[in-house]
Amino acid sequence: LVVDASDLSGRPIPDTLFGIFFEEINHAGAGGLWAELVNNRGFEAGGTQVPSNIAPWTIVGHESAIFLQTELSSCFERNKVALKMDVVCENCPSGGVGVSNPGFWGMNIVQWKKYKVVFFVTSTGSLDITVSFRKNEDGGILASRNIKASASEVSNWKRMETILVADASCSNSSLYLTTTKKGVIWLDQVSAMPVDTYKGHGFRSDLVNMLLELKPAFLRFPGGCFIEGETLRNAFRWKDSVGPWEERPGHFGDVWSYWTDDAFGYFEGLQLAEDIGARPLWVFNNGISHTDEIDTRVITPFVQEALEGIEFARGAATSKWGSLRASMGHPEPFDLKYVAIGNEDCWKKNYRGSYLAFYYAIRHVYPDIQIISNCDASSKPLDHPADIYDYHTYPLDSQIMFNNARVFDKTPRNGPKAFVSEYALIGNKQAKFGTLLGAVSEAGFLIGLERNSDHVIMASYAPLFVNAYDRKWNPDAIVFNSDQVYGTPSYWVQLMFRESNGATLLRSQLQTPDPNFVAASAILWKNPQDKKTYLKIKVANVGNKQVNLKISLNGFESSNTTKPAKTVLTSADALDENSFANPKKIVPKRNPLQSYSNEIYEILPPVSLTVFDLLKN
């Protein structure tokens, strides 16, 4: 590998190149990044009719002691379903009767941590209710509070709030609401949140930390197929996901088949982007789902909805929708500069016609917004205006993934820029739940994107998160359950590319008999911490043989003040994976590099990504 390492040989890589794509899939948000512990908070999972589906709530006590029903009697207009508990026992068991909720496959309750429990209640008489966290295994109590109210206080719906402090830990617990008093109690919108969430904004800190490590340039959200819906009636519609959480109707995401309370909604996506220092990129529903479409002739209400969504994000705090954002605690506009019109819809009957309606309306009101089309322009020009086009790739074969590095080599540079908003090797044979092989083949692809970054200005892996109890899509970058989290090898590859945003891509030439197995790039990047410039060379070897590598550095004066280093991502077997039992089996390992002059001789292990870090004078 010959690297022309003088600053002058390079060209800038866009500072937007590597970001992340958050989709509500695999319980990534509900039961994941959003720290809410209660699943089906409003008893609405069966929809707007009764009887509804209250699962995973279950009855505490015998059915002869307590009778449960759902009724359309809630105080909330957009989610009318409430739970009616008819407590009929004269001498109720001392442990009480009522309901319990296991959250998303068990709540993680941590000793000395505080949890805020909020619920809405009304009752036929005075209220005497106990709120507790108990272990699923043996019912052991982790935290408990008794709440009392007079009959007049709860004759109408009343909001109750209490803080529980756990005096023991258990990662598989449930929330209980129980009573020993005969009477009728109605419950709605029951929430339990840890008090300390990331920046107090409701996000699970351990999962946010994983994102921060990637230094993502942008956050695409909230889908994906999630924004389309199998049917339009189940598509994600931003207006239903903003405002006070207890008033949001929630919806059944029918593509990934689960109910979400939409507490991680449009506002939260914008907030998350801001919190992690990433540019928000909003994908909105364009009147098209997987199975039905709005005719372009009547698309105007959807265009209006999109414009209002942008106003919600960017409008003044005095504007109609900006004021709603302000009321949610964010008077300053969010920095929304990118919107995507739909997801994977280019081939649909009404896409182009409706796209133009969205495009011209947005361009007129927000000329600075970058508009992203679903249509692929990598091999033929678009037939409609766009700033950026969306490109997705999910090969089943690692060699295809690796060679996709060349997809943009020949794309004419006079059209819209490319956004590779979804890429990953998939398939049970090679990618499984996230193999080393998959990750290294993706590294080869990313090296190709760096090389073509005069055209490809953004890229993100998909999907980002998976709750291990709901693997709707494999593989994923970050795996979690109620209390654990780890990165798959694909996550670590992304981390090894994080310095590329805004760096200088150097001219380099790889001479190899195996161009299908080895790929390399070299960048100069400035470390904002120490303000020094570093040379970073990445070499991916997707072949199953080791490679003897010689690197020649032209025009590079190294500094000896920081020891050069080599970081390698590899493992004994190409199909190795990380797991909860062995979360660090495959992680980048950094070692000092033996002394070098302007030539480096190293051995690349089979199926590996190696990064050489050198400090520049």
**Residues ≥6 apart with Cβ < 8 Å to 530:** none
Least separation in angstroms between residue 126's CB and ligand AHR is 50
List the one residue out of 449, 473, 438 whose CA is nearest residue 578: 438
CB of 419 vs ligand AHR, minimal distance in Å: 13
Token representation of residue 199:
């920046």
Least gap, CB of 392 to ligand AHR (angstroms):
6
Structure tokens at 77: 């207009």
Cross-strand bridge partners of residue 30: 34
The reply to whether omega before 56 is within 30° of 0 (cis) is yes
Nearer residue to ligand AHR within complex by CB, 189 or 343: 343
- How many residues appear in the chain? 617
Min dist CB 224 to ligand AHR, Å, is 3
The residue whose Cβ lies closest to ligand AHR is 224
The residue among 253 and 322 lying less far from ligand AHR, judged by its C-beta, is: 253
103 or 463: CB nearest ligand AHR: 463
At which residue do the structure tokens 């990637």 appear?
214
Q: Which is nearer to ligand AHR, 186 or 419 (CB)?
A: 419
Residue 487 CA to chain centroid, in angstroms?
13
Nearer of residues 96 and 438 to ligand AHR, judged by Cβ: 438
Minimum separation from the CB atom of position 463 to ligand AHR (A): 5
* CA gap 373, 384 in Å, rounded: 9
Contacts of 7 (CB under 8 A, 6+ apart): 504, 524
For residue 290, the minimal CB distance to ligand AHR (Å) is: 10
Which of 274/422 has CB closer to ligand AHR? Answer: 422
Q: How buried is 155 (Cβ within 10 angstroms: 0-12 exposed, 13-18 middle, 19+ buried)?
A: middle
433: number of CA atoms within 13 Å, CB side? 19
C-beta of 225 vs 242, nearer to ligand AHR: 225
Secondary structure E strands in 387-464? 388-393, 417-423, 456-461
Query: What is the C-alpha separation between 26 and 599, in angstroms, rounded?
Result: 47
Minimum CB distance to ligand AHR, residue 582 (Å)? 26
Distance CA 445, CA 441 (A): 7
Hey, which residues does 192 pair with through a beta bridge? Answer: 117
Minimum CB distance to ligand AHR, residue 53 (Å): 24
Nearer to ligand AHR, 25 or 30 (CB): 25
The amino acid occupying position 282 is: W
Cβ contact 578:487 at 8 Å: yes
Minimum CB separation of residue 346 from ligand AHR in Å reads: 12
Q: Which CB atom, from 274 or from 442, has the smaller least distance to ligand AHR?
A: 442
User: Smallest distance, Å, CB 473 to ligand AHR?
Assistant: 5
Cβ–Cβ under 8 Å, residues 38 and 589:
no
Angle between helix 205-214 and 489-496 (nearest 10): 50
For 435, phi then psi, to 5°, come to: -95, 165
Rounded to the nearest 10 degrees, what angle do helices 436-451 and 489-496 cross at?
30
Q: Distance (Å, rounded) from C-alpha 470 to C-alpha 481?
A: 10
Region of 433 (left: φ > 0; alpha: ψ -120 to 50; beta: rest) is alpha
Residue 526: closest CA among 493, 501, 497: 501
For residue 483, the minimal CB distance to ligand AHR (Å) is 25
Cβ closer to ligand AHR: 23 or 36? 23
Q: Which is nearer to ligand AHR, 57 or 465 (CB)?
A: 465
- The site for ligand AHR (CB under 6 A) is made up of 23, 25, 223-225, 343-344, 422, 462-463, 473
